[in-house]
Structure 1
Amino acid sequence: MAIDPQFEENREVVDEHEGHRVWGPVDEPETLGIHGTHVAVDFDICLADGACLEDCPVDVFEWVDTPGHPESERKADPANEANCIDCMLCVDVCPVDAIDVDGSRETRI
């Protein structure tokens, strides 16, 4: 299942992490929510294959440890989402569609 393209309407902000919003629900370690707003990563489906980190030309993502999460024990965190240039490479390379960039929401609905 892909990230919810309407997460801003369907979820509430429950926390802040590294300067970006966390959209709930969150019940660690199994449920971690969606991190970021302009560049959003659904931590609950992220497999941590690293394609987004490798392909992002402006280093939006950083690894963050998520011990005990059933999908993977680290996630691609959009820690530098303000650097995003809307190239959509991360959206294109994510094998599980865990990433959404604000500009891609209209085209994915």
Structure 2
Amino acid sequence: MGIDPNYRQNRQVVGEHEGHKIYGPVDEPKVLGIHGTIVGVDFDVCIADGSCITACPVNVFRWFDTPGNPVSEKKADPFNEQACIFCMACVNVCPVAAIDVKPP
């Protein structure tokens, strides 16, 4: 079960982090929602494999600590989603399909 590709329509914006939107629900530390609009990362699916961080040629991602989260205690945060060049490398390498990329 990966990220909902329609989360932008199906979920409410519940906050902002590092300049990107957070789509709920959020109930920290167990439920963290989806971070990002152009590059969305489902923090509830992300297992902190790091392949997206390595694959991204324009440094869209960086680690964000999520202590107490049952899936992983860090996540690949799309803090620089505006730099995305839509190469889809992150989507293609994510082992749990936690990432969705759509142009604005």
Residue 37 of structure 2: aligned partner: 37
Residue 5 of structure 2: aligned partner: 5
Question: In the TM superposition, what are the counterparts of 1:83-98 in structure 2 within 5 Å?
Answer: 83-98=83-98
The structure 1 segments of at least 4 consecutive aligned residues displaced by more than 4 Å after TM superposition are: none
Q: Secondary structure at the match of 1:52?
A: helix
The RMSD of aligned alpha carbons is: 0.6
Q: 1:8 deviation in Å?
A: 1.0
Q: Which TM-score applies when normalising by structure 1?
A: 0.93
- Gap runs ≥5 in structure 2: none
Q: In structure 1, how many angstroms separate the alpha carbons of the residues matched to 2:95 and 2:66? A: 19
Residue 58 of structure 2: aligned partner: 58
Q: 1:95 deviation in Å?
A: 0.1
- Gap runs ≥5 in structure 1: 104-109
Q: Which TM-score applies when normalising by structure 2?
A: 0.98
Number of aligned residue pairs: give it. Answer: 103
Q: Secondary structure at the match of 1:16?
A: strand
**What whole-Å deviation, never above 9, does each CA across 1:18-65 have from its counterpart, x for those lacking one?**
000000000000000000000000000000000000010000001000
Q: In structure 2, how many angstroms separate the alpha carbons of the residues matched to 1:79 and 1:35? A: 9
**What whole-Å deviation, never above 9, does each CA across 1:54-94 have from its counterpart, x for those lacking one?**
01000000100000001000000000000000000000000
Q: In structure 2, how many angstroms separate the alpha carbons of the residues matched to 1:94 and 1:15? A: 25
Q: In structure 1, how many angstroms separate the alpha carbons of the residues matched to 2:100 and 2:5? A: 7
State, as a whole percentage, how many aligned pairs show the same letter. 66
